[in-house]
Amino acid sequence: MYFFTPSKVKDVVNLIVNIVYVSVFTVLVKQEGLGFQEYGLYWPKNYEKHIFTAILFAFVHFLVTVFLAGTLIGFQVSPSIPSSSVPLKIIVTLIIALAGESIFRGYIQRNLEGAYGFPLALSLSSLMFSLHRFPLPLIGSFHLVYEFGKVISLFLMATFLGFFFKRTMNLIGPVTFHAVVLLLHHLTPLAAVKTEYTLLFDVIAYIFLIILLNVVVVKES
């Protein structure tokens, strides 16, 4: 009777939409006559290192934006705790991460970089990534300041992921980081209280992660 809860319906819709995104990416790659490796989709020999590093980065982000922020400005019950099944949430999150990184880092950023250089490619692909997640302004559920903050947070995330992809020339790390950050966000029962200072912790986290990325990750040629 309660099998098709609103949360499960939302997850299934997200799953279908992002499978379509991955399919579109696949068609575009095939039409250009290039292999997936050209877009960063392949298993490198040291893939375990890429995955471990990305998970470490995701937990650093979590510690700054949830634990540190919550300690300083207070905690609240997370509004993102899933009411649908956890396995379904994990599958959907992995597909969302794969679709987002394949399209915005692997395809868009790579092609824009070839035409306009890395700084502009990074800026444009990050902006497109953040805007494509911007929700439609539904009456009674749209809060401009809060949603604008989410867009800025997504832009910061995309900028870091763009540097990550540029550094490794592989999408294993960005996909893993993206997925783990989303899973921690959805599965952690506590979150930092939303205030005007919340976004500051995102800024601190991603600046630190970009510095850390350049220190611990060897640049691929």
| Rounded CA separation 204/110 (Å) | 27
**For position 3, what pLDDT does the model report?**
56
**pTM score:** 0.91
Which position has the higher pLDDT, 137 or 93? 93
Helices and strands of the chain, counted as H and E runs? 9, 2
pLDDT digit string, tens, across residues 186-208:
888 888 888 878 899 999 999 99
Residue 192 included in any domain:
yes
221 found inside a domain = no
- How much helix, strand and coil, in percent to the nearest 5, is found in the chain? 75, 5, 25
CA distance 49 to 173: 9
Q: Are 175 and 99 in contact (CB under 8 A)?
A: no
Q: What pLDDT shows up at residue 189?
A: 85
What is the pLDDT, as a whole number, of residue 135?
57
Look up residue 44 and give its two tokens: 């490198």
Rounded CA-CA distance 133/126 in Å is 11
What backbone torsions phi and psi does residue 41 show, to the nearest 5 degrees?
-95, 90
Residue 126 lies in a domain: yes
CB 68 within 8 A of CB 212: no
pLDDT tens digit string along 97-155?
Answer: 999 999 999 999 999 999 999 999 999 999 999 988 765 554 444 455 566 788 899 99
* 164 within domain boundaries: yes
Q: Please indicate, yes or no, if residue 96 is contained in any of the structural domains.
A: yes
Segment 57-82 mean pLDDT: 88
Residue 140: the pLDDT is 46
Q: Confirm whether 1 is domain-assigned.
A: no
* Residue 204, domain member (yes or no): yes
- pLDDT for res 211: 95
Which structural domain range is residue 60 located in? Answer: 6-37+45-134+143-216
The residue among 105, 72, 87 whose CA lies nearest residue 176 is 105
How much is the pLDDT for 65? 94
Q: Which of 3-7, 18-22, 101-105, 124-128 has the lowest mean pLDDT?
A: 3-7
Report how many domains make up the chain.
1
